[in-house]
Structure 1
Amino acid sequence: MSARVWVAVAALVTGAMPVLAPSASTEGSPPSTYAVFAHPSASYVEVGDTFRVAGHVRPRAPGATVWLLQRLDGSRRWTRTDSDRLDRRGHFDLTDRPSVPGVRSYRVLMPPANGLRGHRSWSMKVAVLRWERLADQQPWASCGVTLGSTVQIGGVTYPASLVVTGFAGCMPSVTYDLGSRCQTVRATYGFVDGTVLPGAQGQVSLSAGSGTLESYPLAPGGRTFVDQAFEIPGVQRLTINLTTFNNDTTAPLSHVAAGTPEVLCLP
């Protein structure tokens, strides 16, 4: 995971705890309590994706059952999500497939066995994110952009799109207030099929505040559309700029669109 993604997830999941549980034994003496060492496969997952917690128990207890416990943010109740039997090395591999977005905590329980007391790992916080269509949301600001259109780009139909069809008297753009809760934006940017004319030029860019995050130039005979996902950790307000112009000032303008733009966010 890149440093950039890690910083973003740390902002989404506040107060994440270490995932190693210390042994209760004194050095040199036989342990009286199991120690559970667990680590998550990710700090955030999409709704419906499989999330894994792997680790090991010491001392080893081959065949013993460990449990994955889960608690939704704001709840005090832990529920059992999955179980696994320890292999001969004391290792386990547990999974969950969250269906509801939000922040939740996981921990691994080793019950008492073989005369030793049971133990739990430290709590692990995970953000479960969902994809949201931008065109379904109320923009913070908009000028010269038609919201919610269905367009065709590269032979594919895209509902809930943003499109510029001509001269708008302003720099065509739409801004959404994301509240720093989103991780990624994705869309297909390009000329709308059937509107590309000789001399047409287009530009799509993403910006936050006064800075440009990414830019995609468009031109017939070159790149007429692009599928792109871009990380936007910590972005408060995201602006999508759609520009269309023609070298022949007497020619109609080609249509430029963001096909079904979506953001991956906490609710």
Structure 2
Amino acid sequence: MNRITALAAAAALTAGSLALVAPATAAPAKAKTYTVTAKANIEVAVAKEDTVKVRGRVTPKAAGEKVVLQQRVGNKKKWTVTGSAKVKKNGTYVLTDKPSTPGSREYRVLKPASKGIKKGFSKSVGVEVYRWEKLAYRTPVATNFAPAGITVGTEYYGASLATTTAGTPSTIEYTLGRKCTSMRATFALTDASESGSSGAVTVSADGSTLASHSLSVGTIVADELFDLTGAFRIKIDATTSATPAATVGVGTPEVLCTR
């Protein structure tokens, strides 16, 4: 093979090799996803009293567009939509919820997809919700105490407790299972007690005394609040004079509990 023929063959081979190499193409750009932050104003709330405010920021800003508040309670897997709001010019938002039932719950915020940007979720934030419950509606261990409506100082107290036999010690206990944090109640001799009668009442939790009051007609310990954090069981003890006959009343006792 002469020199000219060799050069031609080499050129043809090079051209063929180049033809076999596919032209490089750029990978398609991935669609952006909204980034959402979220933070609750409180970690513990009282049902029907407190408002949970969830604040955060959306990136890109998405001013004027909607964000959605979702929540789930307890061990439920399904998220439920409970509110929405518009994103402000600076990319921030505020969403609110007023829980009506007790229990642990999680909140998260969704920014729906728009303008070629994929939807984004915030991380979940937890809030423990408690609710005031009538103690008299719970199942007790009781001796000479009964659920009743009582009158103290001419004021009526529904869902209350009252001793049943004057002169006989009375006890009532309730299991809380360490799910309650507070108790509130009014203590007094009821208006049915005779003049000159007397009594006493003691409240304890797991053997530790929370309060002890001596009572006579006209003595009213109103709206007393107790800390029950960690209490498994509470107990109310009362004594009354037999002559003159007395009735100790525990006016509308309530406990603040979660599920």
**Fold similarity call, TM over 0.5:** yes
Whether 1:152 and 2:148 are equivalent positions in the alignment is: no
Match in the other structure for 2:18: none
Letter in 2 for 1:80: V
Letter in 1 for 2:134: R
Letter in 2 for 1:206: V
**For residues 67 and 205 of structure 2, what CA distance do their matches in structure 1 show?**
46
In the TM superposition, residue 114 of structure 1 has moved relative to its aligned partner by 5.8
Match in the other structure for 1:6: none
Match in the other structure for 1:207: 204
Whether 1:234 and 2:230 are equivalent positions in the alignment is: yes
**For residues 216 and 266 of structure 1, what CA distance do their matches in structure 2 show?**
29
Aligned-partner SS, 2:37:
strand
Check the 8 A contact 1:100/1:128 in 2, yes or no.
yes
Match in the other structure for 2:246: 254
CA offsets 1:83-142 (integer angstroms, 9 cap, x no match): 111223332221223344433221112234566544322212333333332223221x32
CA offsets 1:126-183 (integer angstroms, 9 cap, x no match): 33333332223221x32332x1122101222123322125211x4x221111111122
Match in the other structure for 2:39: 39
Letter in 1 for 2:210: L
Letter in 1 for 2:174: Y
**Distance change in 2, residues 1:240/1:52 (3 Å):** same
Check the 8 A contact 1:51/1:96 in 2, yes or no.
yes
Pairing 1:106-255 to 2, within 5 Å after superposition = 106-113=107-114, 116-139=117-140, 141-145=141-145, 147-164=146-163, 165-168=165-168, 170=169, 172-195=170-193, 197-198=195-196, 200-220=197-217, 223-245=219-241, 251-255=243-247
Aligned-partner SS, 1:135:
helix
CA offsets 1:180-214 (integer angstroms, 9 cap, x no match): 1122222221110142523x443333211221123
State how many pairs are aligned: 226
**Bigger shift: 202-211 or 77-86?**
202-211
Aligned-partner SS, 1:189:
strand
Q: Please provide the CA RMSD for this pair.
A: 2.7
**Distance change in 2, residues 1:157/1:114 (3 Å):** same
In the TM superposition, residue 70 of structure 1 has moved relative to its aligned partner by 1.3
**For residues 97 and 86 of structure 1, what CA distance do their matches in structure 2 show?**
21
Aligned-partner SS, 1:202:
strand
Letter in 2 for 1:87: K
Instruction: Identify unmatched segments of 5+ residues in structure 1.
Output: 1-31
Check the 8 A contact 1:34/1:57 in 2, yes or no.
no
Higher CA-based Rg: 2
Check the 8 A contact 2:167/2:239 in 1, yes or no.
no
| TM-score, normalising length: structure 2 | 0.74
| TM-score, normalising length: structure 1 | 0.72
Provide the identity percentage. 35
Match in the other structure for 1:15: none
Letter in 1 for 2:133: E
Check the 8 A contact 1:191/1:225 in 2, yes or no.
no
Instruction: Identify unmatched segments of 5+ residues in structure 2.
Output: 1-31
